[in-house]
Chain A
Amino acid sequence: MSKKQFLKMVILGDSGVGKTTLLQQYVTQKATGNSKPTIGADFQKKEVMVDNQQVNLQIWDTAGQEKFQSLGYAFYRGADSCALVFDITNHKSFENLAMWKKGFIENASPGDVNTYPFVVIGNKLDKEVNRQVTSQEARQWCKDNGDIPYYETSALENISVDSAFLEMAKTALKRGTQNALFSLPESIGGAGGAIKLNNFEDRGGAGAKGGAGKKKKNGTCC
């Protein structure tokens, strides 16, 4: 029985660059283009085949307003790959990539930064006429930042969305997932009864330790 792989990914970038729409397009093959501002964070899951291997993706969509970065630790930790998204019609969103990348590195402690699977996505290709960031400029930035793969997408018209996410999954798998190779059970139905009630008071509080991706499964059945 082949093991199912699990990858956690996060999507970062300024407010309104199209993070939610990208994810919506990728997961549901539909995009309405009027998604609501994300508050805190949200995630979607998707099952894909990468190099003949079944992979479960858990993709986190984060709030674009800078002040939410201070919650970042909870969402970034354990991420196997990170998409930095900007809007090609908004130069400032491109300039802010450096800030997002730095924030991610500080919060996620992703190990060797130079080999970390980042992907840069320039979105809103459907608004080419209003372009403010040239492909060349974006590629140069990616090159200067450790040869990060660069994709130009239209989340609305579904251009290159799949390839960008697939690239993230592939490079993440190649690097080796941060989440140990647990085979994820389909469901842990009934686990409720198996839980020993160790009811001492947990003073850890919100986000004290552990990330969403680092799932410790005591109940993995073999």
Chain B
Amino acid sequence: MQDSKMIQNVEEVINMDVQRSFTKIKTVDPQILIGILKTYALYNPQIEYCQGMNFVAGFLYLIFRDEEKSFKALQEIIEVNDMAEMFNPSLPKLKLLFYQLDRLLNIYLPQLHTHFKDEMVNSSYYSSPWFITIFTNSLQQQEDDLVGDRILSLFDYFLTSGWKAIFKMSLFLMKAHEQELMSMSFENILNFISERPKQLLAERDHTPEESMHKQIKRATKEMRHIQFTIERLEQEFRDSLEASNHQNNKKASQ
């Protein structure tokens, strides 16, 4: 009983999200996307469905044009990148990614980080869609069914390099607009950084002399040891979680 009720609830959300996600792209049959996401919800009851997966599934379908292949790709991507931890009910991986992004800004773009801190902007205010949809929510801007070069290139980079690609994309964006962001206040910062990547990725490179991936690499060339830093930050996050849990337990037992 519990199971069927659960599935029914998640089905409603999936139906609703799919029908309002790709309204402009006529060749994406909502029933197929619903099929992919529902299958995933049944396949992985721990996650079921998380808002944002609709964009990833839609992106994959636009590439493969095949329900089964898209499902398998979704399954694989979630598995390889530990995304189950991001989509599960308390979103633990998402909190880790927020932490890592904040600290990466702190390390590689310290002036901007200080400004953000002054303005009380932290990564959890703007980066949820970056991580949850791997920037594929930029597709909502587009009106036809040709996936743009930039998002394709970024997604390829993600497939080969994992979260490092998303962090580098984030740093690339911040660095490219550092001067503008430095002069903005809280509200403008958030508006700007939530809109800018969508515009950028939806634009077409008519003369793609340099792919998105290469642009990112070039812009972040001087940011040394990013992969190592990301790993170190994960440990740092876990240690501080453990320490605060320990503190709480101590308080509770007193």
Which residue in B50, B110, B115, B127 is a CB contact (below 8 Å) of A199?
A: B110
The distance from the CB of A84 to the nearest CB of chain B, in whole angstroms, is 19
Q: Does B211 contact A (CB under 8 A)?
A: no
Q: Does A70 contact B (CB under 8 A)?
A: yes
Q: Contact between A74 and B50 (Cβ–Cβ < 8 Å)?
A: no
Q: Contact between B140 and A202 (Cβ–Cβ < 8 Å)?
A: no
A7 to B111, CA, bound (A): 29
Q: Contact between A43 and B190 (Cβ–Cβ < 8 Å)?
A: yes
A37 to B52, CA, bound (A): 8
Q: Contact between B51 and A68 (Cβ–Cβ < 8 Å)?
A: yes
Hey, which chain A residues are within 8 Å of B31, CB to CB?
Answer: none
Contact residues, B97-114 vs A (CB, 8 A):
98-99, 101-103, 106, 110-111, 113-114
The distance from the CB of B124 to the nearest CB of chain A, in whole angstroms, is 4
Hey, which chain A residues are within 8 Å of B102, CB to CB?
Answer: 202, 204-206
Hey, which chain A residues are within 8 Å of B128, CB to CB?
Answer: 39-41, 63, 71
Hey, which chain A residues are within 8 Å of B123, CB to CB?
Answer: 206
Q: Contact between A34 and B20 (Cβ–Cβ < 8 Å)?
A: yes
A30 to B13, CA, bound (A): 25
Contact residues, B61-111 vs A (CB, 8 A):
87-91, 94-95, 98-99, 101-103, 106, 110-111
Hey, which chain B residues are within 8 Å of A63, CB to CB?
Answer: 51, 128
Q: Contact between A37 and B124 (Cβ–Cβ < 8 Å)?
A: no
Q: Does B240 contact A (CB under 8 A)?
A: yes
Residue picked from A190, A207, A210, most chain B C-beta under 10 Å: A207
The distance from the CB of A8 to the nearest CB of chain B, in whole angstroms, is 11
What 1/0 flags go to B30-59 for Cβ under 8 Å of A?
000000000000000000001110100000
Q: Contact between A71 and B124 (Cβ–Cβ < 8 Å)?
A: yes
Range class of the B interface residue count = 35 or more
Which residue in B90, B120, B140, B240 is a CB contact (below 8 Å) of A212?
A: B120
Q: Does B117 contact A (CB under 8 A)?
A: yes
Hey, which chain A residues are within 8 Å of B90, CB to CB?
Answer: 67, 70
A112 to B98, CA, bound (A): 31
Q: List the count of A-B residue pairs having beta carbons below 8 Å apart.
A: 134
Q: A39-B133, A70-B91, A195-B118 are in contact. Are A205 and B51 (CB under 8 A)?
A: no
What 1/0 flags go to B10-22 for Cβ under 8 Å of A?
0011001100110
Q: A15-B16, A45-B187, A197-B111 are in contact. Are A206 and B99 (CB under 8 A)?
A: yes
The distance from the CB of A54 to the nearest CB of chain B, in whole angstroms, is 16
Which residue in B50, B126, B127, B183 is a CB contact (below 8 Å) of A189?
A: B183
Q: Does A42 contact B (CB under 8 A)?
A: yes
Q: Does A221 contact B (CB under 8 A)?
A: no
Closest residue of B by beta carbon distance from A20: B20
Q: Does A214 contact B (CB under 8 A)?
A: yes
Closest residue of A by beta carbon distance from B124: A206
Q: Contact between A65 and B98 (Cβ–Cβ < 8 Å)?
A: no
The distance from the CB of B27 to the nearest CB of chain A, in whole angstroms, is 18
Contact residues, A57-103 vs B (CB, 8 A):
58, 63-68, 70-71, 74-75
Closest residue of B by beta carbon distance from A214: B120
Closest residue of B by beta carbon distance from A190: B183
Q: Contact between B124 and A207 (Cβ–Cβ < 8 Å)?
A: yes
Which residue in A37, A45, A67, A199 is a CB contact (below 8 Å) of B91?
A: A67
Q: Does A188 contact B (CB under 8 A)?
A: yes
Which residues of chain B have a CB within 8 Å of any CB of chain A? 12-13, 16-17, 20-21, 23, 50-52, 54, 87-91, 94-95, 98-99, 101-103, 106, 110-111, 113-115, 117-120, 122-129, 132-133, 137, 140, 182-183, 185-187, 190, 194, 236-237, 240
Would you mind naming 15 contact pairs between A and B with Cβ atoms under 8 Å apart? A15-B51, A39-B132, A39-B133, A39-B137, A40-B125, A40-B128, A43-B190, A63-B51, A63-B128, A65-B13, A65-B51, A71-B95, A202-B117, A205-B103, A214-B120
Which residues of chain A have a CB within 8 Å of any CB of chain B? 15-16, 34-43, 45, 58, 63-68, 70-71, 74-75, 185, 187-192, 195, 197-199, 201-208, 210-212, 214-216, 218
**4 nearest interchain CB pairs?**
A40-B128, A206-B98, A192-B182, A205-B99
Task: Kindly list 18 other residue pairs between chains A and B, CB separation below 8 angstroms, not including A15-B17, A40-B132.
Answer: A16-B13, A34-B20, A40-B126, A41-B128, A42-B194, A58-B187, A65-B13, A66-B89, A67-B88, A67-B91, A191-B183, A201-B103, A201-B106, A205-B103, A206-B99, A207-B122, A215-B120, A218-B118
